[in-house]
Amino acid sequence: MKDSRGKSRQTVAGKWPALDIELIDAIISAYRGRGQTLLAPHRGNPVDVLVATILSQATSDVQSEKAFRSLKQAFPTWEEVILADPQDIEAAISKAGLGREKARNLQAALKRVRDDMGRIDLQKLAGLDPGEAMEYLLSLPGVGPKTAACTLLFGFDVPVFPVDTHILRIAKRLGIIPPAMSAKKAQVILNEMIPPDRMLEFHVGLIEHGRKVCKKRKPHCDNCAISNWCARREV
Protein backbone atom coordinates (compact mmCIF):
# COMPACT_ATOMS: atom_id res chain seq x y z
CA MET A 1 0.00 0.00 0.00
CA LYS A 2 1.24 3.52 -0.76
CA ASP A 3 0.56 6.85 0.89
CA SER A 4 -0.28 10.06 -0.98
CA ARG A 5 3.45 10.66 -1.59
CA GLY A 6 3.82 7.29 -3.29
CA LYS A 7 5.73 5.69 -0.43
CA SER A 8 5.02 2.08 0.36
CA ARG A 9 3.39 1.49 3.71
CA GLN A 10 3.50 -1.75 5.64
CA THR A 11 0.36 -3.23 7.04
CA VAL A 12 -0.55 -4.20 10.57
CA ALA A 13 -1.88 -7.75 10.82
CA GLY A 14 -2.02 -7.78 7.03
CA LYS A 15 -4.78 -5.16 6.91
CA TRP A 16 -4.12 -1.80 8.50
CA PRO A 17 -1.33 0.50 7.22
CA ALA A 18 1.38 1.18 9.77
CA LEU A 19 1.70 4.86 10.51
CA ASP A 20 4.65 6.54 8.87
CA ILE A 21 7.02 7.60 11.64
CA GLU A 22 7.75 10.77 9.68
CA LEU A 23 4.07 11.72 9.88
CA ILE A 24 4.02 11.14 13.62
CA ASP A 25 7.17 13.18 14.13
CA ALA A 26 5.88 15.98 11.88
CA ILE A 27 2.90 16.46 14.21
CA ILE A 28 5.05 16.19 17.33
CA SER A 29 7.54 18.74 15.97
CA ALA A 30 4.81 21.14 14.87
CA TYR A 31 3.10 21.24 18.25
CA ARG A 32 5.77 20.40 20.81
CA GLY A 33 5.49 23.01 23.53
CA ARG A 34 2.36 24.46 21.92
CA GLY A 35 -0.20 21.70 22.25
CA GLN A 36 -2.26 21.61 25.43
CA THR A 37 -5.19 19.52 26.55
CA LEU A 38 -7.63 20.02 29.36
CA LEU A 39 -6.08 16.98 31.09
CA ALA A 40 -2.52 18.33 31.23
CA PRO A 41 -3.05 20.21 34.54
CA HIS A 42 -4.27 16.97 36.12
CA ARG A 43 -1.41 14.80 34.89
CA GLY A 44 -0.27 12.36 37.56
CA ASN A 45 -3.58 12.54 39.45
CA PRO A 46 -5.68 9.67 38.07
CA VAL A 47 -8.92 10.51 39.88
CA ASP A 48 -8.80 14.12 38.69
CA VAL A 49 -8.12 12.89 35.16
CA LEU A 50 -11.04 10.46 35.39
CA VAL A 51 -13.45 13.16 36.56
CA ALA A 52 -12.22 15.73 34.04
CA THR A 53 -12.58 13.25 31.19
CA ILE A 54 -16.11 12.25 32.19
CA LEU A 55 -17.00 15.94 32.22
CA SER A 56 -15.43 16.39 28.77
CA GLN A 57 -17.75 13.89 27.12
CA ALA A 58 -19.86 15.47 24.35
CA THR A 59 -18.72 19.02 25.09
CA SER A 60 -15.83 21.39 24.43
CA ASP A 61 -12.63 21.54 26.46
CA VAL A 62 -13.44 25.10 27.49
CA GLN A 63 -16.83 24.18 28.93
CA SER A 64 -15.64 20.98 30.58
CA GLU A 65 -12.74 22.77 32.28
CA LYS A 66 -15.15 25.42 33.59
CA ALA A 67 -17.35 22.62 34.90
CA PHE A 68 -14.38 20.95 36.62
CA ARG A 69 -13.38 24.18 38.37
CA SER A 70 -16.99 24.81 39.39
CA LEU A 71 -17.30 21.29 40.76
CA LYS A 72 -14.12 21.63 42.83
CA GLN A 73 -15.25 25.00 44.12
CA ALA A 74 -18.60 23.59 45.23
CA PHE A 75 -17.14 20.31 46.54
CA PRO A 76 -13.43 20.60 47.45
CA THR A 77 -13.08 16.85 48.07
CA TRP A 78 -14.33 13.87 46.08
CA GLU A 79 -15.91 12.46 49.24
CA GLU A 80 -18.14 15.54 49.29
CA VAL A 81 -19.22 14.76 45.73
CA ILE A 82 -20.27 11.26 46.80
CA LEU A 83 -22.32 12.65 49.69
CA ALA A 84 -23.85 15.56 47.77
CA ASP A 85 -27.37 15.92 46.46
CA PRO A 86 -27.22 14.94 42.77
CA GLN A 87 -29.06 18.12 41.84
CA ASP A 88 -26.32 20.20 43.45
CA ILE A 89 -23.69 18.34 41.42
CA GLU A 90 -25.76 18.85 38.29
CA ALA A 91 -25.90 22.58 38.98
CA ALA A 92 -22.15 22.76 39.53
CA ILE A 93 -21.30 21.02 36.25
CA SER A 94 -24.07 22.52 34.13
CA LYS A 95 -21.63 24.15 31.70
CA ALA A 96 -20.47 20.71 30.54
CA GLY A 97 -23.94 19.66 29.40
CA LEU A 98 -25.70 16.36 30.13
CA GLY A 99 -25.60 17.44 33.76
CA ARG A 100 -28.00 14.87 35.18
CA GLU A 101 -26.27 11.93 33.48
CA LYS A 102 -22.76 13.12 34.32
CA ALA A 103 -23.67 13.87 37.93
CA ARG A 104 -25.07 10.37 38.34
CA ASN A 105 -22.03 8.78 36.71
CA LEU A 106 -19.55 10.84 38.71
CA GLN A 107 -21.12 9.90 42.02
CA ALA A 108 -21.40 6.24 41.08
CA ALA A 109 -17.84 6.02 39.71
CA LEU A 110 -16.29 7.74 42.72
CA LYS A 111 -18.27 5.55 45.11
CA ARG A 112 -17.14 2.41 43.26
CA VAL A 113 -13.52 3.53 43.47
CA ARG A 114 -13.86 4.18 47.20
CA ASP A 115 -15.56 0.84 47.81
CA ASP A 116 -13.06 -1.10 45.70
CA MET A 117 -9.87 0.67 46.77
CA GLY A 118 -10.71 1.58 50.37
CA ARG A 119 -10.42 5.27 49.53
CA ILE A 120 -10.96 7.55 46.55
CA ASP A 121 -7.64 6.76 44.92
CA LEU A 122 -6.67 4.80 41.83
CA GLN A 123 -3.00 4.28 42.58
CA LYS A 124 -3.51 0.53 43.06
CA LEU A 125 -4.03 0.33 39.31
CA ALA A 126 -0.37 1.21 38.85
CA GLY A 127 0.52 -2.29 39.97
CA LEU A 128 -1.71 -3.97 37.40
CA ASP A 129 -1.06 -4.99 33.84
CA PRO A 130 -2.30 -2.14 31.56
CA GLY A 131 -4.97 -4.43 30.14
CA GLU A 132 -6.28 -5.23 33.61
CA ALA A 133 -6.23 -1.56 34.59
CA MET A 134 -8.15 -0.71 31.43
CA GLU A 135 -10.69 -3.44 32.17
CA TYR A 136 -11.27 -2.06 35.67
CA LEU A 137 -11.72 1.50 34.45
CA LEU A 138 -14.17 0.36 31.78
CA SER A 139 -16.27 -1.25 34.51
CA LEU A 140 -16.87 2.13 36.15
CA PRO A 141 -20.13 3.99 35.43
CA GLY A 142 -19.81 6.53 32.64
CA VAL A 143 -16.39 5.30 31.52
CA GLY A 144 -15.84 4.28 27.91
CA PRO A 145 -12.66 3.46 25.98
CA LYS A 146 -11.54 7.08 25.53
CA THR A 147 -12.08 8.00 29.18
CA ALA A 148 -10.28 4.87 30.38
CA ALA A 149 -7.36 5.46 28.01
CA CYS A 150 -7.05 9.11 29.03
CA THR A 151 -6.96 8.09 32.68
CA LEU A 152 -4.12 5.67 31.99
CA LEU A 153 -2.18 8.02 29.71
CA PHE A 154 -2.41 11.20 31.77
CA GLY A 155 -2.93 9.68 35.20
CA PHE A 156 -0.27 6.97 35.08
CA ASP A 157 1.87 7.72 31.99
CA VAL A 158 0.84 4.35 30.57
CA PRO A 159 1.44 4.40 26.78
CA VAL A 160 -2.06 4.11 25.38
CA PHE A 161 -3.61 6.24 22.65
CA PRO A 162 -7.06 7.74 23.36
CA VAL A 163 -9.14 8.67 20.32
CA ASP A 164 -11.35 11.76 20.54
CA THR A 165 -13.42 13.45 17.82
CA HIS A 166 -10.44 15.46 16.50
CA ILE A 167 -8.20 12.42 16.19
CA LEU A 168 -10.96 10.34 14.63
CA ARG A 169 -11.60 13.02 12.00
CA ILE A 170 -7.92 13.43 11.13
CA ALA A 171 -7.32 9.68 10.90
CA LYS A 172 -10.22 9.38 8.46
CA ARG A 173 -9.05 12.31 6.35
CA LEU A 174 -5.59 10.80 6.16
CA GLY A 175 -7.12 7.56 4.99
CA ILE A 176 -5.63 5.65 7.91
CA ILE A 177 -9.03 4.21 8.80
CA PRO A 178 -12.28 3.88 6.84
CA PRO A 179 -14.76 6.80 6.95
CA ALA A 180 -17.40 4.78 8.79
CA MET A 181 -15.13 3.36 11.51
CA SER A 182 -16.21 4.05 15.09
CA ALA A 183 -14.00 5.78 17.63
CA LYS A 184 -13.94 2.59 19.71
CA LYS A 185 -12.59 0.50 16.84
CA ALA A 186 -10.22 3.27 15.72
CA GLN A 187 -8.69 3.38 19.19
CA VAL A 188 -7.89 -0.33 19.02
CA ILE A 189 -6.30 0.01 15.58
CA LEU A 190 -4.32 3.19 16.29
CA ASN A 191 -2.90 1.71 19.48
CA GLU A 192 -1.30 -0.97 17.32
CA MET A 193 0.10 1.56 14.84
CA ILE A 194 1.80 4.12 17.07
CA PRO A 195 5.10 3.58 18.91
CA PRO A 196 4.52 3.69 22.69
CA ASP A 197 7.19 6.35 23.24
CA ARG A 198 5.35 8.76 20.94
CA MET A 199 1.76 8.22 22.07
CA LEU A 200 1.46 11.11 24.52
CA GLU A 201 3.01 13.81 22.32
CA PHE A 202 1.26 12.54 19.19
CA HIS A 203 -2.10 12.49 21.00
CA VAL A 204 -1.67 16.04 22.28
CA GLY A 205 -0.36 17.26 18.92
CA LEU A 206 -3.20 15.74 16.90
CA ILE A 207 -5.81 17.31 19.17
CA GLU A 208 -4.18 20.72 18.72
CA HIS A 209 -3.97 20.12 14.97
CA GLY A 210 -7.67 19.31 14.90
CA ARG A 211 -8.56 22.45 16.81
CA LYS A 212 -6.38 24.86 14.87
CA VAL A 213 -5.91 23.40 11.36
CA CYS A 214 -7.82 20.23 10.49
CA LYS A 215 -11.17 21.60 11.59
CA LYS A 216 -14.46 19.85 10.99
CA ARG A 217 -15.58 22.63 8.67
CA LYS A 218 -13.22 24.59 6.44
CA PRO A 219 -9.90 22.95 7.36
CA HIS A 220 -6.82 25.11 6.77
CA CYS A 221 -5.12 22.70 4.37
CA ASP A 222 -2.59 25.32 3.20
CA ASN A 223 -1.24 25.52 6.75
CA CYS A 224 -1.07 21.79 7.42
CA ALA A 225 2.10 20.14 8.74
CA ILE A 226 1.05 16.76 7.36
CA SER A 227 -0.50 17.75 4.02
CA ASN A 228 1.95 15.48 2.17
CA TRP A 229 0.30 12.47 3.75
CA CYS A 230 -3.29 13.63 3.41
CA ALA A 231 -5.71 12.20 0.89
CA ARG A 232 -7.92 15.26 1.61
CA ARG A 233 -10.96 13.16 2.23
CA GLU A 234 -14.19 15.03 2.86
CA VAL A 235 -14.75 13.69 6.36
pLDDT category at 73 given cuts 50, 70, 90 is very high
Mean pLDDT of 101-113: 98
> Hey, what domains does the chain have and what are their CATH numbers?
11-36+161-229 (1.10.1670.10), 44-156 (1.10.340.30)
Catalytic machinery residues: 146
- pLDDT tens digits along 148-188: 999 999 999 999 999 999 999 999 999 999 999 999 999 99
Asked if pLDDT for residue 128 goes beyond 80, the answer is: yes
Asked if pLDDT for residue 8 goes beyond 90, the answer is: no
Asked if pLDDT for residue 16 goes beyond 80, the answer is: no
pLDDT at 235: 57
pLDDT category at 42 given cuts 50, 70, 90 is confident
Q: Mapping DSSP to helix (H, G, I), strand (E, B) and coil, where does residue 84 land?
A: coil
pLDDT category at 234 given cuts 50, 70, 90 is low
